[in-house]
Protein backbone atom coordinates (compact mmCIF):
# COMPACT_ATOMS: atom_id res chain seq x y z
CA UNK A 1 0.00 0.00 0.00
CA UNK A 2 2.76 2.45 0.89
CA UNK A 3 4.39 1.80 -2.49
CA UNK A 4 1.14 2.66 -4.28
CA UNK A 5 0.65 5.88 -2.35
CA UNK A 6 3.73 7.36 -4.03
CA UNK A 7 1.93 7.45 -7.38
CA UNK A 8 -1.08 9.41 -6.09
CA UNK A 9 0.48 11.66 -3.45
CA UNK A 10 0.99 15.26 -4.54
CA UNK A 11 4.43 16.84 -4.25
CA UNK A 12 4.93 17.79 -0.60
CA UNK A 13 1.94 15.67 0.45
CA UNK A 14 1.84 13.73 3.70
CA UNK A 15 0.08 10.58 4.86
CA UNK A 16 -1.06 9.60 8.36
CA UNK A 17 -0.88 6.00 9.58
CA UNK A 18 -2.13 4.73 12.91
CA UNK A 19 -2.00 1.14 14.09
CA UNK A 20 -1.55 -0.98 17.20
CA UNK A 21 1.77 -2.81 17.32
CA UNK A 22 1.33 -6.54 16.95
CA UNK A 23 2.62 -7.46 20.42
CA UNK A 24 0.44 -5.05 22.41
CA UNK A 25 -2.18 -6.53 24.76
CA UNK A 26 -4.88 -6.43 22.05
CA UNK A 27 -2.74 -6.49 18.89
CA UNK A 28 -4.72 -9.44 17.57
CA UNK A 29 -7.89 -7.29 17.53
CA UNK A 30 -9.51 -9.94 19.71
CA UNK A 31 -11.76 -7.23 21.19
CA UNK A 32 -14.11 -7.78 18.21
CA UNK A 33 -15.13 -11.20 19.54
CA UNK A 34 -18.65 -11.66 20.92
CA UNK A 35 -17.38 -13.66 23.91
CA UNK A 36 -16.55 -10.90 26.42
CA UNK A 37 -14.01 -12.95 28.37
CA UNK A 38 -11.92 -13.64 25.26
CA UNK A 39 -12.58 -10.15 23.87
CA UNK A 40 -10.96 -8.63 26.97
CA UNK A 41 -8.22 -11.22 27.54
CA UNK A 42 -4.84 -9.61 26.69
CA UNK A 43 -1.85 -11.10 24.89
CA UNK A 44 -3.26 -14.53 24.03
CA UNK A 45 -3.02 -13.69 20.32
CA UNK A 46 0.71 -14.32 20.78
CA UNK A 47 0.08 -18.01 21.34
CA UNK A 48 1.05 -20.42 18.54
CA UNK A 49 -1.43 -20.29 15.66
CA UNK A 50 -2.95 -23.73 16.21
CA UNK A 51 -3.87 -22.86 19.81
CA UNK A 52 -5.05 -19.32 19.11
CA UNK A 53 -7.11 -20.22 16.04
CA UNK A 54 -8.77 -23.13 17.83
CA UNK A 55 -9.80 -20.82 20.67
CA UNK A 56 -11.29 -18.37 18.16
CA UNK A 57 -13.12 -21.17 16.31
CA UNK A 58 -14.68 -22.28 19.61
CA UNK A 59 -15.73 -18.86 20.91
CA UNK A 60 -16.57 -16.90 17.73
CA UNK A 61 -16.11 -18.79 14.44
CA UNK A 62 -17.57 -15.87 12.45
CA UNK A 63 -14.43 -13.80 13.11
CA UNK A 64 -11.79 -16.42 12.26
CA UNK A 65 -11.02 -14.87 8.84
CA UNK A 66 -10.48 -11.40 10.31
CA UNK A 67 -8.41 -12.79 13.18
CA UNK A 68 -6.20 -14.81 10.82
CA UNK A 69 -5.63 -11.81 8.53
CA UNK A 70 -4.65 -9.69 11.52
CA UNK A 71 -2.25 -12.29 12.87
CA UNK A 72 -0.60 -12.77 9.49
CA UNK A 73 0.02 -9.02 9.11
CA UNK A 74 1.94 -8.66 12.41
CA UNK A 75 2.73 -4.98 11.92
CA UNK A 76 5.20 -3.42 14.35
CA UNK A 77 6.93 -0.03 14.45
CA UNK A 78 10.13 -1.73 13.31
CA UNK A 79 8.46 -3.32 10.25
CA UNK A 80 6.56 -0.13 9.40
CA UNK A 81 9.67 2.06 9.64
CA UNK A 82 11.64 -0.37 7.45
CA UNK A 83 8.93 -0.25 4.76
CA UNK A 84 8.79 3.56 4.94
CA UNK A 85 12.56 3.76 4.47
CA UNK A 86 12.54 1.24 1.59
CA UNK A 87 9.87 3.30 -0.19
CA UNK A 88 11.93 6.50 0.22
CA UNK A 89 9.48 8.24 2.51
CA UNK A 90 10.56 10.25 5.54
CA UNK A 91 9.02 9.95 8.97
CA UNK A 92 7.84 13.47 9.74
CA UNK A 93 6.24 12.62 13.06
CA UNK A 94 5.82 9.66 15.36
CA UNK A 95 3.82 9.28 18.55
CA UNK A 96 3.69 6.04 20.50
CA UNK A 97 0.95 5.77 23.11
CA UNK A 98 0.85 3.88 26.37
CA UNK A 99 -2.89 4.63 26.43
CA UNK A 100 -4.40 5.09 22.99
CA UNK A 101 -6.44 8.23 22.24
CA UNK A 102 -9.20 5.84 21.09
CA UNK A 103 -9.38 4.47 24.65
CA UNK A 104 -10.83 7.78 25.81
CA UNK A 105 -13.84 7.11 23.62
CA UNK A 106 -14.02 3.37 24.30
CA UNK A 107 -13.09 3.15 27.98
CA UNK A 108 -13.06 6.74 29.34
CA UNK A 109 -9.27 6.48 29.84
CA UNK A 110 -7.17 9.60 29.35
CA UNK A 111 -4.64 9.21 26.48
CA UNK A 112 -1.00 9.02 27.53
CA UNK A 113 2.10 9.03 25.39
CA UNK A 114 4.56 6.22 25.92
CA UNK A 115 7.23 6.74 28.57
CA UNK A 116 10.26 8.40 26.94
CA UNK A 117 12.65 5.90 28.52
CA UNK A 118 10.67 3.01 26.98
CA UNK A 119 9.86 4.57 23.62
CA UNK A 120 13.23 3.84 22.05
CA UNK A 121 13.75 0.33 23.40
CA UNK A 122 12.88 -1.57 20.26
CA UNK A 123 10.70 -4.67 20.54
CA UNK A 124 10.15 -4.36 24.32
CA UNK A 125 8.14 -1.15 23.86
CA UNK A 126 5.70 -2.96 21.56
CA UNK A 127 4.27 -4.98 24.46
CA UNK A 128 3.30 -1.76 26.25
CA UNK A 129 2.34 0.50 23.34
CA UNK A 130 -1.31 0.50 22.36
CA UNK A 131 -1.11 2.77 19.31
CA UNK A 132 1.54 4.03 16.91
CA UNK A 133 0.80 7.22 14.98
CA UNK A 134 3.03 8.20 12.07
CA UNK A 135 3.09 11.08 9.62
CA UNK A 136 5.18 10.32 6.54
CA UNK A 137 6.03 12.34 3.48
pLDDT in tens, 65-84: 999 998 888 899 999 999 99
Domain-embedded: residue 7: no
Residues 106 and 131 occupy one common structural domain = yes
Residue 1 reports pLDDT greater than 90: no
Tens digits of residue pLDDT in 12-51: 999 999 999 999 999 999 989 999 999 999 999 999 999 9
Domain range for 125 is 76-137
Chain centroid offset of residue 48 CA: 19
> Do 131 and 116 touch, CB atoms closer than 8 A?
no
Residue 107 reports pLDDT greater than 90: no
pLDDT band at 6 (very low <50, low <70, confident <90, very high): confident
Residue 3 reports pLDDT greater than 90: no
Domain-embedded: residue 70: yes
> Do 23 and 76 touch, CB atoms closer than 8 A?
yes
Domain-embedded: residue 12: no
Domain-embedded: residue 96: yes
Residues 107 and 137 occupy one common structural domain = yes
Residues 137 and 93 occupy one common structural domain = yes
71: Cβ contacts below 8 Å, ≥ 6 apart: 28, 45, 49, 52
Residues 80 and 108 occupy one common structural domain = yes
Amino acid sequence: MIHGIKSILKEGGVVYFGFPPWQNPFGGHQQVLKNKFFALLPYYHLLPNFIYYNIIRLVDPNHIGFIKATKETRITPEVFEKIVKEENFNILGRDLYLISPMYEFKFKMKPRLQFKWLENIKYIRNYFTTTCDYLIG
